[in-house]
Structure 1
Amino acid sequence: MTEAKPQTVHAAFRQAAARWPERPFLAVLPETAERYGIEAGEITYAAAAETVERLSVGWAKAGFGRGHRVALLTENRPIYFLTWFALNRLGISVVPINPDLRSAELEYLIGHSEIAAAVVLPERMGDIRAAAEVAGRSVAVVAPGEAPERAPFDPPRPGTPDVDTECGLLYTSGTTGRPKGCVLPNEYFLEAGRWYAETGGLIALREGVERMITPLPVFHMNAMAYSAMAMLMTGGCLIAVDRFHPKSWWANVRDSGATVLHYLGVMPAMLMAAPADPSDRAHTVRFGFGAGVPRDLQAPFEARFGFPLIEAWAMTETGAGAVIAATDEPRHVGSNCFGRAPASMATRIVAEDGTEAAVDQPGELLVRRAGPEPRFGFFREYLKDPEASAEAWRDGWFHTGDVVRRGPDGSFHFVDRKKNVIRRSGENIAAVEVEAVLLRHPAVKAAAVAATPDPVRGDEVFALIVPHDKPVDAQAAARLADDIVAHCLGRLAYYKAPGWIAFAEALPLTSTQKIQRGELKTAVAERMAAGDVLDTRALKKRTA
């Protein structure tokens, strides 16, 4: 008898637990256990199901159900997933909280999401209660693994949770303004898991075999929609470490028996900076899955460590309704290629003048699901922001804000976020490309690049740099700036090197440690107006 297609995340978990009860679902490595003060070891599907059942009964008894939202602040602990499944069974939507958020950010999130409760680490309970009071919300705050005594708001809505029921509310990083809350139904997460489980090619997942290690935060869509759901769909084991630790990474990979790893672009760069070691290939990893690997490091990394880095593209808004990954050859390694669009997905690349971009011409990527349901697998809407939702979906296409180009074979190559492109003397310069090169200078701890107006060239490249060691005086600062520009000129076309440099103690960052582009633009204007900058334009000369 064929199993019924699951209608909720909890139903997918329940099916997995029934099919693979003794298989490990979650694993906690000793290093992570020590940092969190929890027990190391593996949690089987059966044991996980027992905890999910207990928690679900407790929350139901307290009066929680469909229509309620509950925030989760647990860091990368296993209890995050178990609480999510328990709440999902009742039709409760989860609102993941980045543990780095502080008072003003928490006040906004709590007020905007209208959570009824929060599962919070004991040391952060005071912060959540204080923020809730400022936001004017009555919020039941409990420790991980517990349920509140009663729901502080209206009783749950009637009905059985299904694919359309809200499963999660995930907030974007807010690089240009207040974070937007993406409303994600069960369908979103189920489709992401099916996509990963069924895509095959270089990311083929073997049923009941895979062990996936990820340092990515569980409050992001990658760990929730792809990592966790893919393991559920295939009976695999998820190994969520507390965060990326370069010095112990390979030891953790080896000791965990990981067969798949997830990465962000900064990870390969940091791992390649370590001296080569005879144990570099002493692991069982078949592939890495992620985005943003520096193009000049992808081939050397793969050659050194012995497995492919599968670059992919998706957004919190697109989920698996529109996801592209370099799952088949040719991958065009070293060209920022993230694969070819599947038949289930429709795409357009639109040039600045609104026309369809030609082959290899950069333009904004527009996406939708192919067929009669263009929004299938996507987010439902931005919470309380119908204008932004309509703007994102104008003309029937989701506007990604990402600038890409399409090669002759249909492969997509990432260029930059649309708003981060610097246009200098007719040349488009990707801020992220320049930042990646700056970060490879030994004196640079962090860097952010933006445009600043130039009377002749339109824009000039401005680099705000956090050095490892602050220059002792103006002469030392000038020498360091010159050295940094020389470093760039040796690795980039001359016009991409910084024409202005300013040193700072910190960059304007979002709560998820992304560059706050809006604040960066303001900081650049202020530094230029104050004259607190170093002019390096004379060093930018075309050479043979």
Structure 2
Amino acid sequence: MMTTVYDAFCKTAAKYPDNAFLCVPAYEKRSYHPDGVEITYAEAAEEVERLRGIYRNYGFSHGNRIAFLLENRPDYLLHLLAANSLGVSCVPVNPDYLHDEMSYLLDHSDVDLVVTIEERAKDVQAAASERARPLPVVHFEKFGGPMPRPRPAPYAGKAPGLMSEVSLLYTSGTTGRPKGCILTNDYFLTAGRTYKELGGVATIREGEERVYNPLPLFHMNAGAVTFTCMILTGGCLVIPDRFHPSTWWQEIAETRATVIHYLGVVPPLLLNQPKSDLDTAHNVRFGLGAGVEPELHEVFEKRFGFPLVEVWGMTETGRIYADCIEPRQIHTRAFGRPGEMQARVVDEKGQDVPVGAEGELLVSCVGDDPRRGFFAGYLKNEEATEEAWQGGWFHTGDTVRQDESGMLYFVDRKKNIIRRSGENIAAAEVEAVLQAHDDVAKVAVIAVKDELREEEVMACIVPMEGVEQTEEKAREIFDYSNENLAYFKTPGWILFLNDLPTTGTQKIQKTKIFGADVDPRAVAGAMDFRNHKRKSK
């Protein structure tokens, strides 16, 4: 029985040594592999063993953690496999993080080392230097040279197993700082296996698939679910640096992709591209993703010639639901039926709602252990872990409905979470930064609809007495947030208000700021800063 991701990789590398394992498409504007690269399972195995020897020789063992800021380089996955063989956990760092965000992650995760690209080494070193215990930083480009020994590993001498930590992924919560999700070998292997077993139009063929996934490796989709599925089936993971609409179909053709992954922002941007012969000059069998608008679903499939399979999943669940069995409900927001991951739809009192009624989605694993295959908990936050698993069911916070056949339909986003181009943004985190500005008395951050990015961040601000509600002041506050938050978290819309509705305990009631039929973006005084939200790099 395979008990680690490394075990699974070794088994597949022995079976399919000449199969492609990792592929980076050519892209001349990228700082690494501008001409593209392809790595076979045999080549990857050789490199993984080299890296494994380096980590082992420097004393890394079961229970140590290493942070990686490697953008979307395939090397991160090779380091992960090497680390996994020793029971060392990998903590990927979002390359868009700014100083405070990075400092929090490096401190909270208790990592023993940071491996970073030279371009970001100065930033990483600044954050690492704030740790109470010195945190060494190693340049990825010079990896293999002298390295400080880590602190004694908690489980040194004990072989890693099914419940050993593979990775620590930080996901935005509803109460401020991101929470570290502990992901085990059981989580990775379960996620990969259940993807492999989806079936229907999403059938994975062993040894044949080449999955083009433009999502970041610091998210569960590319970095755990797709990655492990390819390992379990001898397939190839195609890893672009990010989504580029203008070169998408060229890369799909050149990398011979058979499956693509998408977010809701992808279909409309591709449909807006000029029609060309490349639209159908590909080998794609299906796409897998979430958030395509129902009115665009059929339009996309007819133009580009393959089905889009809508799915649902969270970092905490690993497993995904998928509407992959025909007839698919493409004119709705259907995302699949329960199976190994069972579901309930409940009201605010935790009681099951009638068929067709809206309620919160609760999920768990069938059998005696409801948490089997899920995340192992939130690091240093047992209270939040138990609250999420209240009653033996994981509370997703997402509003859904279920029909007579068991099909689940997405209705609304998680409370206080803004979903922008695939990034989960905690409103509370943005509010904390804005509230620290001297001219902000009160603030409520909400999600507003965005035709391109699904949702955008909007800040409703009550300024301090005497502060003028001008566009210049709004720009000042925008710039302040931009200096303290990753660009995607910064408010795309700012609106000054004289007050915010509150409860008797002075808790802001976001649902009462605007009427049910009001588009906050259209309210007089709403200022659009979306074009100013640009990466600093």
Instruction: Sort the TM-score into its range (normalised by shorter chain).
Output: 0.7 to 0.9
Separation (CA, whole Å) in 1 of partners of 2:159 and 2:363? 32
Evaluate the alpha carbon distance shift between residue 155 and residue 177 of structure 1 in structure 2; reply closer, same or farther with a 3 A threshold.
closer
**Residue 407 (structure 1) shift:** 1.9
Secondary structure in structure 2 of the residue aligned to 1:30: coil
- Do 2:260 and 2:288's aligned partners in 1 also have CA atoms closer than 8 Å? yes
Aligned runs of 1:207-226 on 2, under 5 Å? Answer: 207-226=206-225
Question: What is residue 332 of structure 2 aligned with on the other side?
Answer: 335
Q: CA deviation at 1:132?
A: 1.4
- 1:348 counterpart SS class: strand
For residues 389-417 of structure 1, the C-alpha deviation after alignment (integer angstroms, 9 at most, x for no partner) is 11101111110010011123211111112
1:508 shift after superposition? 7.1
- 1:149 equivalent to 2:147? Answer yes
Q: 1:445 to 1:82 in 2, by over 3 A?
A: closer
Match of 2:81 among 85, 94, 99: 85
Separation in 1, partners of 2:481, 2:394: 28
2:262 aligned counterpart, secondary structure: strand
Out of 28, 37, 44, which is 1:41 matched to?
Answer: 37
Q: Measured at CA, do residues 385 and 75 of structure 1 come closer, stay the same or move farther in structure 2, by a change above 3 Å?
A: same
Amino acid at match of 2:253: R
Which residue of 1 is the match for residue 133 of structure 2? Answer: 137
Query: Matches of 2:6 and 2:358 in 1, distance apart?
Result: 42
Q: Which amino acid aligns with 2:309?
A: I
Q: Hey, what's the Cα distance between the residues in 1 that align with 2:210 and 2:276?
A: 24
Which SS does the other structure have where 1:134 is aligned? coil
1:8-51 Cα distance to aligned partner (Å, 9 max, x none): 01111111111111111111211178432566221111111111
Change (3 A) 1:445 1:394: closer
Residue 30 of structure 1 corresponds to 26
Rate the CA distance shift 1:167–1:418 in 2: closer, same or farther, 3 A.
closer
Distance 1:452 1:363 in 2: 31
Question: For residues 435-490 of structure 1, what are the alpha-carbon distances to aligned partners after superposition, in whole Å with 9 as ceiling and x for unaligned?
Answer: 55x426xxx9984469999xxxxxxxxxxxxxxxxxx999xxxxxxxxxxxxxxxx
**Quick one: distance in 2 between partners of 1:511 and 1:346?**
37
Structure 1 60/373 Cα, relative in aligned 2: closer, same or farther at 3 Å? Answer: same
- Cα deviation for residue 174 of structure 1 reads 4.0
Provide the rounded CA distance (Å) in 2 between the counterparts of 1:534 and 1:284. 43
Which of 384, 399, 405 is the aligned partner of 1:403?
399
CA contact (8 A) 2:447 2:455 kept: no
Amino acid aligned to 1:152 = P
With over 3 angstroms needed to count, the CA separation of the structure-2 counterparts of 1:34 and 1:127, relative to structure 1, is closer
Counterpart of 1:356 in structure 2 is 352
Q: What's 2:100 paired with?
A: 104
Q: Which amino acid aligns with 1:165?
A: S
Seq. identity, %: 45
> Aligned partners of 1:511 and 1:187: how far apart in 2?
33
Question: In the alignment, is the contact (CA less than 8 A) between 2:400 and 2:408 conserved in 1?
Answer: yes
| Greater RCO, 1 or 2 (C-alpha within 8 Å, sep 6+) | 2
> Counterpart of 1:263 in 2: which secondary structure?
strand
Match of 2:260, SS state, is strand
Amino acid at match of 2:451: L
How much has 1:535 moved relative to structure 2? 4.2
Match of 1:191 in 2: 190
C-alpha spacing 1:446/1:528, structure 2 compared with 1 (3 Å)? farther
Does 35-44 or 237-246 show the bigger shift?
A: 35-44
For 2:325, the aligned partner's letter is: D
- Tell me, yes or no, if the aligned pair for 2:60 and 2:150 is still in contact at 8 Å: no
RMSD of Structure 2 on Structure 1 (CA): 3.4
Matched position secondary structure for 1:253: helix
Q: How does 1:310-459 map to 2 (within 5 A)?
A: 310-320=309-319, 323-342=320-339, 344-419=340-415, 435-436=448-449, 438-439=450-451, 447-448=456-457
Q: Secondary structure at the match of 2:191?
A: helix
> Could you tell me how far apart the structure 1 residues matched to 2:459 and 2:403 are?
27
**Compared CA separation, residues 528 and 203, structure 1 to 2 (3 A):** farther
Runs of 5+ consecutive residues of structure 2 not aligned to the other structure = 419-426, 428-445, 463-469, 501-512, 514-519, 526-537
Is the contact made by 2:173 and 2:417 (CA closer than 8 Å) also made in structure 1?
no
Please list the CA deviations of residues 202-251 of structure 1 after superposition, one character each: whole Å capped at 9, or x if unmatched: 11111111111111000111012211111111111111000000011111
CA contact (8 A) 2:62 2:157 kept: yes
8 Å contact from structure 2 (residues 128, 137) kept in 1: no
Q: Deviations over 1:271-292 (max 9, x none)?
A: 1122333432111100001111
Does structure 2 conserve the Cα–Cα contact (< 8 Å) formed by 1:209 and 1:235? yes
- Matching residue within 13, 35, 56 for 1:60: 56
Alignment partner of 2:108: what SS? helix
CA contact (8 A) 1:317 1:379 kept: yes
8 A contact 1:215–1:262 mirrored in 2: yes
Question: 1:513 deviation in Å?
Answer: 6.6
Contact 2:90 2:168 in 1 (8 A): yes
Matched letter for residue 72 of structure 1: F
CA distance in 2, matches of 1:408, 1:112: 45
Tell me the residue number matched to 1:463: none
Which residue of the partner structure matches residue 3 of structure 2? 7
Equivalent-residue separation in structure 2 for 1:152 and 1:371 (angstroms): 40
Q: Structure 2: how far apart are the matches of 1:76 and 1:125?
A: 16
Aligned to 2:285: 286
Cα 1:33–1:371 change in 2 (3 A) is farther
**Cα gap change, 1:335/1:252 in structure 2, threshold over 3 Å: closer, same or farther?**
same
Q: Answer yes or no: is the 8 Å Cα contact 1:76–1:218 preserved in 2.
A: yes
**Residues 271 and 105 of structure 1, relative CA distance in 2, 3 Å threshold:** same
Task: Supply the AA of the counterpart residue of 2:137.
Answer: V
For residues 370 and 107 of structure 2, the distance between their equivalents in structure 1, rounded to whole angstroms, comes to: 31
Q: State the match for 1:164 in structure 2.
A: 163
Summarize deviations over 1:289-335 as a string: whole Å, max 9, x none.
11111121111111111111111111101112xx2111202321121
CA contact (8 A) 1:446 1:507 kept: no
Q: What TM-score do you get using the length of structure 2 for normalisation? A: 0.80
CA distance in 1, matches of 2:417, 2:388: 19
- Please give the TM-score of this superposition, normalised by the length of structure 1: 0.79
For the structure 1 residues 353 and 90, does the alpha-carbon distance in structure 2 shift closer, same or farther, using more than 3 Å as the test? closer
Per mean C-alpha deviation after superposition, the further-off stretch among 236-245 and 36-45 is 36-45
358 and 449 in structure 1: CA distance in 2 versus 1, 3 angstrom threshold: farther
Letter in 1 for 2:276: D
Give 1:160's aligned amino acid.
A
Distance 1:58 1:329, change over 3 A: same
8 Å Cα contact 2:216-2:223 kept in structure 1: no
Residue type at the aligned position of 2:367 = G
Contact map agreement 1:173 1:512 (CA 8 A) in 2 = no
Task: Determine the C-alpha separation between the residues in 1 that align with 2:454 and 2:5.
Answer: 41
Counterpart of 2:151, as a letter, is F
Please state how far the C-alpha of 1:6 moved relative to its aligned partner: 1.3
Aligned to 1:51: 47
Q: Secondary structure at the match of 1:419?
A: coil
Q: Label 1:399 to 1:414 Cα distance change in 2 as closer, same or farther (>3 A).
A: same
Partner of 1:265: 264
Structure 1: gaps of 5 or more residues? 423-430, 454-471, 475-501, 538-544
